[in-house]
Structure 1
């Protein structure tokens, strides 16, 4: 609805039978790289994908494409590609905002709950956990602790006095590039392809630019994860395996970022480590249970959350009173259907005094929360360096969305950085606005 949209995805094929042996070996649990996924394996995999998702299907079934049909959809592909599989992924346009809305929804559903941003756990003694928030040391006696620290789980456990070696993070780097020729060639599709070195990469249109990803590098310290020049060169280079006549040059890079997948610790090729989620239970010296959440991703977060909640309720001896399985999230609540969208925009544009175009922009950006935000914008003065955002809009985010510093605005609450619009001048303008808003309000 507001942050998740269908993304037609192309799986290029270079052979008929490629990958059969490797797939059998991997099914049997033996290590093997899939350098080539032929039409037989791909067709079988997509058929199973459709079958297991049949009860939840909201997008079309897969199709197998000949080279002639593929050329009518995506232009400029390598001549050695003989066809493709076409299926649909769910694209998250702004995962950071989806996470924020889950937090805000949770607090609204339970007024006794509280989510604190930028907390440092300092230690535990006799069942009492001490932590620092906003420079103040605080204490709490938890009945259950859920460690959802991702790649930092072992570090959080260490601060609680529990030595663990649960995590074996994998760094994934991405590039956002401004390449009009590649953007046009993709024609709204993602290309999800195996490379000559046995990795899997992707390229797809993203916020008017093109996103390239991703690497898969074993990482011991998640704080050191950055997209370095070697990775950037690699990502630019592998695009040539798919689009040999559309070079991606270093000067086209508008943004680079990396994250660390919270995978379980394992020996061997990091690419073969399971992506399934699991819960590892440990205890504080006082006996308080600590549930460590390993793995997990956006495609399975609801199921994982329910699994964790069930375990918490069991430990507390409580019964579930409410399910979130079909609950709409944040700005997805009462999101207008396609034939209702224009009416919704006109109504709230009239109420707020904003233009139709601006209201449409806010709906796309915030879902139905745009109605509340629009009513707070008043004069709505565009930023000089990024006129797609306004001063009043960012001030609203600072006051209402747990913004701890300027980077929260640039990288997490807005798309300024990830869309490639961040410049030194933009940072300076946003820093001045941030300080002005904090001085004129009670933001903490």
Structure 2
């Protein structure tokens, strides 16, 4: 039975006008990017996702925007070139979330792997694992740098010997022979970058409509049957073009729509986040990237004051939930000891864990590490329709989402008989528009926007939301005015003084936040950086309920679902019931 808080204008907008030119199924980064691009062309477009935006494969990334130096070994030169170009572009277009990242490879041999590398290149079979030595890595990085010549805005790689390596990273294994440092980028808050793209699309006009927690459950003639996951109600939408960007679940979605496919063959990647200051300091501010003796690539990335470690590369079934296993955690700990042997790591330091399935194509007996990271677009008729066309995305990654979305949009435009009118090549994303990139420019911005909430607070919000912080500040000030100006304009939370009640209200009411878990995992980094404990959970859930107008029954349900989600997928233990939360609600 639905309640007042289940009634969503976004869903009503789609239900009341069920005809569109393009329907996109799947709100991961590639579906969202395509939604934005089509909206900018003036196309009538609808985006739906059965979960929250960027809550599937897109939420399980390594937080890297990179050219893929290892793809050179796969012979994927087109993908490397495009990835490097898009990395450079995102540093310019989304500077509020995408930052330069130095990456260091510790090297423990000189010639290792030089004989087996050609065989791997030709056969794409892993064979007997062989650590890559200095000569092979040097050749790879020279090739990688060559792709950055056109429009590159990161330095070339550096190669140093043992003495300098240990001087910079003294906790490295003492038998290190060289370190190679090259440059890519990191995305500090990928889910918020995805949300910026959603907001950009909606700002294009009423021809762009979207709703999260809406699932495609079947087809009926020329129509897609959708179900609102909150109310349980079903309705139909008819489009000229149906775009399937559901990532690892592409085949499952196509089967649901009545057109079974066997495009996908994803692999699982897992990560843990550690609160370990010694390990954080040992990285020297660079990501440490190396190959284990089983041939798998692992990273140790200092991020948001914590250390992100991953990833594995295992076969996975997209119909089953993906979780980080205890065996994988043991594997990570062994790898960290391999590089930083004197640093103690244990399970008590894990503050967050996550796992996801990469949307890779089917790969037969090709070793997981050699499965293509490139993408393709498959065109077909939609189900049994004679007129509706369908595009299915196979593959795709965070780094190339803009270029991929451009290709997908161009194919959809061709099917619609339309021409591109707007380029996204140099179009800033969300809060990256006008983002100040010098200390003087930052100071000027916070002075201009901090009159009502204070310059220190404006500076925090600018770092968190880019120039979208101006809208957050306006909301907070307006909310204070509406309430008669009583109390502080931007009251800090008791358990999380870096956030405020006005900011939480903004996130709940202005950013398509449907469930409590959306707030904790994707509108903020609270869970990711280990700030979620029982007290902060109780305070946040009470504020969320107040802002969203949840009944006590709805709040209890939200808390129970959130606690189970955090325990099962992220290793965070909380209590669903709390006297403090009950009293606050």
TM-score scaled by length of structure 2:
0.73
Q: Which residue of 1 aligns with 2:120?
A: 26
Q: Indicate conservation of the 8 Å contact 1:403/1:409, yes or no.
A: yes
Deviation string, structure 1 residues 341-363 (Cα, Å, up to 9, x no partner) = 1111122112xx22322211111
1:151-300 to 2 correspondence within 5 Å? 151-221=248-318, 223-268=320-365, 269-283=367-381, 284-287=383-386, 288-300=388-400
Q: What is the CA–CA distance in structure 1 between the aligned matches of 2:444 and 2:306, rounded to whole Å?
A: 30
CA displacement at 1:13 relative to structure 2: 1.0
Relative to structure 1, the CA distance from residue 275 to residue 398 in structure 2 (aligned partners, 3 Å threshold; closer, same or farther) is same
CA displacement at 1:368 relative to structure 2: 0.3
CA displacement at 1:122 relative to structure 2: 1.9
Q: Which residue of 1 aligns with 2:199?
A: 104
Q: Which residue of 2 aligns with 1:86?
A: 181
**Partner SS state of residue 476, structure 2:** coil
CA displacement at 1:219 relative to structure 2: 0.7
Q: Indicate conservation of the 8 Å contact 2:126/2:295, yes or no.
A: no
Report which structure shows greater RCO (CA 8 Å, sep ≥6).
2
Deviation string, structure 1 residues 290-333 (Cα, Å, up to 9, x no partner) = 21112111211111111111111111111111110111000000
Aligned with residue 412 of structure 2, among 307, 312, 315: 312
Relative to structure 1, the CA distance from residue 30 to residue 414 in structure 2 (aligned partners, 3 Å threshold; closer, same or farther) is closer
Aligned with residue 464 of structure 2, among 348, 365, 389: 365
CA displacement at 1:35 relative to structure 2: 3.2
CA displacement at 1:116 relative to structure 2: 1.1
Q: Which residue of 2 aligns with 1:9?
A: 103
1:119-130 to 2 correspondence within 5 Å? 119-130=214-225
CA displacement at 1:37 relative to structure 2: 1.6
CA displacement at 1:59 relative to structure 2: 1.0
Deviation string, structure 1 residues 84-136 (Cα, Å, up to 9, x no partner) = 11111110001111111111101212431101111111211211111012423
Relative to structure 1, the CA distance from residue 376 to residue 223 in structure 2 (aligned partners, 3 Å threshold; closer, same or farther) is farther
Deviates more, 1:228-237 or 1:299-308: 228-237
Q: Which residue of 1 aligns with 2:67?
A: none
Q: What is the CA–CA distance in structure 2 between the aligned matches of 1:171 and 1:421, rounded to whole Å?
A: 27
1:375-390 to 2 correspondence within 5 Å? 375-378=474-477, 379-390=489-500
Answer yes or no: is 1:116 the counterpart of 2:216.
Answer: no
Q: Indicate conservation of the 8 Å contact 1:61/1:87, yes or no.
A: yes
**Partner SS state of residue 399, structure 1:** helix
Q: Indicate conservation of the 8 Å contact 1:22/1:32, yes or no.
A: no
**Partner SS state of residue 378, structure 2:** strand
Q: Which runs of 5 or more structure 2 residues have no equivalent in the other structure?
A: 1-94, 478-488, 552-585
Aligned with residue 447 of structure 2, among 331, 346, 350: 346
Deviates more, 1:238-247 or 1:120-129: 120-129
Q: Which residue of 2 aligns with 1:301?
A: 401
Q: Which residue of 1 aligns with 2:522?
A: 412
Relative to structure 1, the CA distance from residue 66 to residue 151 in structure 2 (aligned partners, 3 Å threshold; closer, same or farther) is same
Q: Which residue of 2 aligns with 1:44?
A: 139
Q: Which residue of 2 aligns with 1:58?
A: 153
Q: Indicate conservation of the 8 Å contact 2:318/2:357, yes or no.
A: no
Deviation string, structure 1 residues 226-252 (Cα, Å, up to 9, x no partner) = 112221121122100000000211111
Q: What is the CA–CA distance in structure 2 between the aligned matches of 1:222 and 1:344, rounded to whole Å?
A: 47
Answer yes or no: is 1:437 the counterpart of 2:547.
Answer: yes
Q: What is the CA–CA distance in structure 1 between the aligned matches of 2:535 and 2:389, rounded to whole Å?
A: 48
Q: What is the CA–CA distance in structure 1 between the aligned matches of 2:181 and 2:172, rounded to whole Å?
A: 15
CA displacement at 1:440 relative to structure 2: 8.4
Q: Which residue of 1 aligns with 2:508?
A: 398
Deviation string, structure 1 residues 33-65 (Cα, Å, up to 9, x no partner) = 553121111111111111112113111111111
**Partner SS state of residue 506, structure 2:** helix
Q: Indicate conservation of the 8 Å contact 1:75/1:186, yes or no.
A: no
Q: Which residue of 1 aligns with 2:38?
A: none
**Aligned-pair RMSD on alpha carbons?**
1.6
Q: Which runs of 5 or more structure 1 residues have no equivalent in the other structure?
A: none
Q: What is the CA–CA distance in structure 2 between the aligned matches of 1:22 and 1:313, rounded to whole Å?
A: 45
Count the aligned residue pairs: 439
Deviation string, structure 1 residues 349-405 (Cα, Å, up to 9, x no partner) = 12xx22322211111110000111112224212222222111111110111111010
**Partner SS state of residue 28, structure 1:** helix
